[in-house]
Amino acid sequence: MKLIPNNSRLDMGIAAGKAVENKILEMLEEKTGLRIIFAAAPSQIEMLDYLRESKLIPWKKITAFHMDEYIGLNGASPALFANFLKRHLFDHVPFHQVHLINGLEDPNRECARYSRLLAEAPIDIVCMGIGENGHIAFNDPPVADFNDPVPVKKVKLETACRQQQVNDDCFDTLADVPEYALTLTIPALIQAGYISCVVPGAAKKEAVYNTLLGPVNHRCPASIIKTLDHCDLFLDRDSYPTPAGDLAYPDNFVSNNCISGSLCLINHHDNTWGSMVELKNHPPAENEYFGPGLADLQINGISGIDFNHPDLTPEAVFKATSYLLSQGVTTYLPTLITNSPETIEKLLKTLVRACEKYPLVDQCIEGIHLEGPFISPSPGAKGAHDEQYIQNPSWNLIKTFQKISGNRIRLVTMAPESEGGMEFIRKCVDAGIKVAIGHSSADSRTVSAAVAAGASLSTHLGNGIPLELPRHPNLLWDQLAADGLYTSIIADGFHVPDNFLKVVFELKGRKAFLVSDATNFAGMPSGEYDAHIGNKVVLSKTGRLSVKNEDGLLAGAGKNLLENVQYLVKSKLKPLSSAWAMASSIPLEYLNGELDPSHRGDWVRFELLGKVIRILQVYKNSKLVYDVAEETDIVEK
């Protein structure tokens, strides 16, 4: 939801009127007609005045409804909502049709009739307000239902609601206000394509406060609108809920969306991420940002825990998950590299036990990435993988692995030029397993055939390829030019040079994303370590991981995904918005087809201090799982 404050009631009405006018014109570019629901209340007068005078709106293409009506009120009464709308709009412009609620008809029959009219086609726009008791339409707190099964119903009006009608000079005394009414229900209203909510006046300040800063519940029915991304809330100076525009209360904070750039009010109650409201004309939040949780689709280990060590335990996986959450990574694919089938099976079983024992681990592990053993044995292409365990693709072996994993294998990196490679790709894709080209020496024809068979990703492009390539064609150009391939890349400053990163970003655009390919040494202090495969490695203060006494030969990645994001920002290769998307929304878009992963409830709140990203809070499934202020380990609940 967008919050749009204005200096005066008139400015508010004009701003809302323009927004509705623009939305009408925008929608009519794709539709031949629109259906709009209008509220009848003094709060709407300035907006209705603007719409009535509009020279742009083609009213003959619009069918109008109104959202509530008193039961039993004389048809000539000026307080009748139908008459209010006639005075201010319906009798002044040539609508295609106007459907009014008849409060003198039998309530059950009228609810059924109006429900049928509403059901004839979707509602495009709703113009509404918020009552002093937080109601929308006549959905007062005692009768409001966010999951109401009917679109129209009879309700008994709360005393506070009836008193508002007196306060608005619609009736002389409380006794004059009818006790019952017909109203459109909350689901019927919020399912519209666009909602304009106009709320002026000091009498509405408390209701607006509860809407914006309180929990989403029936005690304030309007609170539901802050969960909607298609609603604009227009306020004037008097209805704005806090002095000096300060919305950062203890259970809320104002922060910048690091991807969209918009300033938002975030509600979080009881350590739960609730909703966000986009703010307009509000003082910016200095250096504080939030964004979707990071997603690492290729990670071999972290902070001393090696996902490929035969002695891996469920407790170690939980510890690794906790560390990753503290670094903003809310989703990851533990990556198993080339090894013996027996060792891979053992590791798969450990990962399964970790998911079964720790619900938080199960939530964070989106699946498992097999990087091998079906890769090229040629020097350069095989990288650090153990050649003795490399083999041709085997569908039977994958089926065995998948059964052991509980169908958790989501991605396989392989060399398509291997014997049986194309058939293997097709079978994986048919089984819902994504296939990436990596650690390969494939020629142009093979790359094209692999993409046609269903391969969809280049694994850490620029690494795991022969040291020398033909001028053209070659494996890099072939994969960069393949429109069907996403590209994962390690942007740690060591694995590929900056000029190569620029080429990948330019050519692949939204099909390029970051992976850490981190080893267990990432997140550890700089120094010399023993690798479990038998050699010594050196982790520098800059995060470079190399084999000791091998002239700086890389021994894997020593930076996590957050550090990759930070490198792009620090090196000015990408702005924060793009770098964060490449480590969060884009990999999830590749893995799950999610164009907007925000519904997951995975959020990271952080500071950008100069060029250093400092994680403040991390939410998984909307629950707070890391808070730097607490300085405590994550505890499984």
- Tell me which CATH code domain 2-240 carries: 3.40.50.1360
Q: Which pair of tokens denotes residue 211?
A: 């809407």
Kindly report the three-state secondary structure assignment for every residue of 384-408: CCCHHHCCCCCHHHHHHHHHHHCCC
State the span(s) of the chain assigned CATH 3.40.50.1360.
2-240
Smallest CA-to-CA distance from 230 within 121, 126, 120, 148 is with 126
CATH 3.20.20.140 in the chain: give the residue spans: 294-605
The residue with greater pLDDT, 532 or 484, is 484
Give the Cα separation of 297 and 295 in Å (integer). 6
Tens-digit pLDDT profile for residues 72-98? 999 899 999 999 999 999 999 999 999
Topology of 294-605 in CATH?
TIM Barrel (3.20.20)
Max mean pLDDT among 379-388, 521-530, 532-541 falls in: 521-530
pLDDT tens-place string over residues 480-517: 999 999 999 999 999 999 999 999 999 999 999 999 99
Q: What percent of the chain has pLDDT over 90?
A: 79
Region 355-375 average pLDDT: 97
Q: 243 to each of 89, 238, 248, how far by Cα in Å?
A: 35, 10, 11
Q: Judge whether residue 245 has pLDDT over 60.
A: no
Residue 637 has pLDDT above 50, yes or no: no
Rounded to 5°, angle at Cα 613 from 607 and 618: 65
Nearest Cα residue to 236 out of 20, 44, 54: 44
Structure confidence at residue 440 as a pLDDT band (50, 70, 90): very high
| CA dihedral angle for residue 132, residue 133, residue 134, residue 138, rounded to 10 degrees | -100
Query: Which of 398, 378, 380, 402 is closest to 390 using CA atoms?
Result: 378
Structure confidence at residue 192 (pLDDT): 97
Q: What is the pLDDT of residue 611?
A: 81
Give the pLDDT confidence score for residue 275 in this predicted structure.
82
Provide the b/e sequence for 186-197 (b: ≥16 CB within 10 Å).
Answer: bebbbebbbbbb
